[in-house]
Amino acid sequence: MISANPKGPNPLRDWHLDLADVRTIGTDLQRPECILAEPDGTLWSADARGGVMKIMADGTQELITQKVDNHFDLDAGQADSLLYGTLPNGLAFAANGDILISNFGTDLLEVMTRAGETRTLYDSIDGQPMGKVNFVLRDSKNRIWITVSTKINPWSAAVRNDIDDGYIALVDDKGIRIVADGLAFTNEIRLDANEEWMYIAETCGKQVSRMRVLDDGSLTDYEIYGPSDLGKGLIDGLAFDAFGNIWLTMIFADRLVAITPDGDALTLFEDGDAEATENFEREFASGDTVSFETLA
């Protein structure tokens, strides 16, 4: 396991989130799947209308919709489905401040200026469609890492416990290539502080895994990090804190979980609908595809 940097006891031990301490930022957001923050307090949130919502530190906000090249002609309000049409998902800052977008609806890796001009970076790998592009991450070497959850379309048909066609791709000076595959609905990924390990949210595996990052960007030494089953819900997002804990969001159960550097899973918050969660768990455990009605 990784070592925590600060000295002293882990502050998450015996700690739970109190809903009374939570405040909200932003209004009228549509599926804010990923959020980027800048030092001045500005937030950039993915928006299902085809772009990002810019939220300034003073609370004012602006919806910036994509002005797209010859692939798609998008406008605010076009996306009225989680299965079809544009669906910006993961975001990352490019080196020049533009915004990289993994578009879960159009199966593209895009780059958008802060004024909305958008172009496609990649739409295929090895001559084949990329699949459901979920997340994008840029590292200190200016390499771009991409997760693809599944090649199945619609993606909802892949929400089951026996499909592992997800993968991770890398973009560097050699172009784009797959560096890890056989993953169970690959979702968010994070590098540790030294960029020695890649941590992977395997949504339909109900687990976090990790792989060692070699100098050439290859990933190896796959292993489960923490419990092999994180319990109710499916893991979606993950992020490190300064102590080396990795925080996890568990969708379909409204849980917030953390895995400590020792590999222990801590439940920090739980606020789901118990009946709806049990319905989901029952369908998912059956081995069949979870109905879209249950997912929605």
- Which domain CATH number covers 115? 2.40.10.500
Does residue 5 sit within a domain? no
- Which domain CATH number covers 236? 2.120.10.30
Of 72, 99, 122, the one marking the end of a domain is 122
Q: Are residues 49 and 73 both part of a single domain?
A: yes
Q: Are residues 105 and 235 both part of a single domain?
A: no
Does residue 128 sit within a domain? yes
Q: Are residues 100 and 133 both part of a single domain?
A: no
Of 122, 138, 171, the one marking the end of a domain is 122
Cβ-based burial of 81 (10 A; exposed 0-12, middle 13-18, buried ≥19): exposed
- For residue range 95-148, list pLDDT tens digits in order: 999 999 999 999 999 999 999 999 999 999 999 999 999 999 999 999 999 999
Residue 187, SS3 per DSSP: strand
Q: Are residues 265 and 129 both part of a single domain?
A: yes
Q: Are residues 184 and 286 both part of a single domain?
A: yes
Averaged pLDDT score across all residues of the chain: 92
β-bridge pairing 61-65 and 51-55:
antiparallel
Does residue 51 sit within a domain? yes
Which residue range is the domain that position 101 belongs to?
A: 19-122
With contact defined as beta carbons under 8 Å apart, do 119 and 106 qualify? Answer: no
Q: Which residues of 159-186 are buried (b: 16+ CB within 10 A; e: fewer)?
A: bbbebbbbbbbbbbeeebeebbeebbbb
- For residue range 36-90, list pLDDT tens digits in order: 999 999 999 999 999 999 999 999 999 999 997 644 444 444 444 566 678 999 9
pLDDT at 80 (0 to 100): 46
Does residue 52 sit within a domain? yes
- For residue range 155-201, list pLDDT tens digits in order: 999 999 999 999 999 999 999 999 999 999 999 999 999 999 999 99
Lookup: tokens for 210: 């990790």
Bridge partners, residue 55, by sequence: 43, 61
Looking only at Cα atoms, what is the longest distance across the chain? 55
Does residue 252 sit within a domain? yes
Q: Are residues 89 and 209 both part of a single domain?
A: no
Q: Are residues 72 and 179 both part of a single domain?
A: no
Does residue 14 sit within a domain? no
Does residue 1 sit within a domain? no
With contact defined as beta carbons under 8 Å apart, do 127 and 121 qualify? Answer: no
State how many domains the chain has. Answer: 2
Q: Are residues 69 and 138 both part of a single domain?
A: no
Of 83, 104, 122, the one marking the end of a domain is 122
pLDDT at 82 (0 to 100): 66
Q: Are residues 257 and 201 both part of a single domain?
A: yes
DSSP annotation of 293: H
Distance CA 47, CA 27 (A): 12
Does residue 7 sit within a domain? no
Distance CA 115, CA 36 (A): 16
- pLDDT for residue 13 is more than 50: yes
pLDDT at 3 (0 to 100): 44
Q: Are residues 209 and 117 both part of a single domain?
A: no
Q: Are residues 238 and 294 both part of a single domain?
A: yes
Q: Are residues 161 and 237 both part of a single domain?
A: yes
Mean pLDDT of 230-248: 97
Cα angle, residue 4 at apex, residues 42 and 8 outer, rounded to 5°: 100
